Amino acid sequence: VIRAKAVSAKEVDSGNDIYGNPIKRIQYEIKQIKARGHIGCSLTPASAPQMFKGPDQDIEFIYTAPSTAVCGRLLDTGGKKEYLIAGKSEGNGKMHITLCDLVSTWDSLTPTQKKSLNQRYQMGCECKISRCLSIPCFVSSSDECLWTDWAMEKNNVDGRQAKHYACIKRSDGSCAWYRGMAPPKQEFLDIEDP
């Protein structure tokens, strides 16, 4: 899980399929954004690339299929748009992403999500998040947080819990949702100066 910009893209061969046909991939050259302080589930020195979870080295390239029809993820190149990217790392500076992986623009994240990536999520590394797909649902142990966005918000995977809460371990060893910064109330957004 990294914060990065895509600076260039090119189509490359990635071996052959079972019939001997070449497999094409898009290779994105990326630049990881530098961190300030400790991040993710491990302690990272200041000014290190923002690796929220993964190997102890920079990711230089991200690979994906050449189109969304075969589960490829398209990134904006030119180094202007920052992304939060979760994918599969080979541990050699290469990472692979598909449509099933989390790829969000950094600007689309809520203040709670940004702060939690740098501080709060590490407090939940020993916790388990259990998905609730339909009501009723229950946790089976005290080290679980029940994620209900899907069931409560009409199959929404990016709902209120995902945007504004973090599952953290409490001092008694149990896990619970912690509410981060709440969005402003609508009535305050609608107030205008006379």
Q: What is the DSSP string of 167-192?
A: EEE-TTS-EEEEE-PPPPPHHHHT--
Question: What residue ranges do the domains of the chain occupy?
Answer: 1-108, 110-193
CATH 3.90.370.10 fits 110-193, yes or no: yes
pLDDT digits (tens, 9 = 90+) for 56-91: 677 889 999 999 999 999 999 988 899 999 898 876
CA-wise closest residue to 158 among 122, 89, 108 = 108
- Which residues lie across from 169 on neighbouring strands? 175
pLDDT digits (tens, 9 = 90+) for 2-46: 899 999 999 998 888 889 888 899 999 999 886 544 444 544 444
Asked if domains 1-108 and 110-193 share a fold, the reply is no
pLDDT digits (tens, 9 = 90+) for 40-56: 454 444 445 566 777 66
CATH 2.40.50.120 fits 1-108, yes or no: yes
Q: What is the CA radius of gyration of the chain?
A: 19
Pairing of strands 144-147, 128-131: parallel
Counting Cβ atoms within 10 Å, is residue 160 exposed (0-12), middle (13-18) or buried (19+)? middle
CA-wise closest residue to 181 among 118, 105, 94 = 118
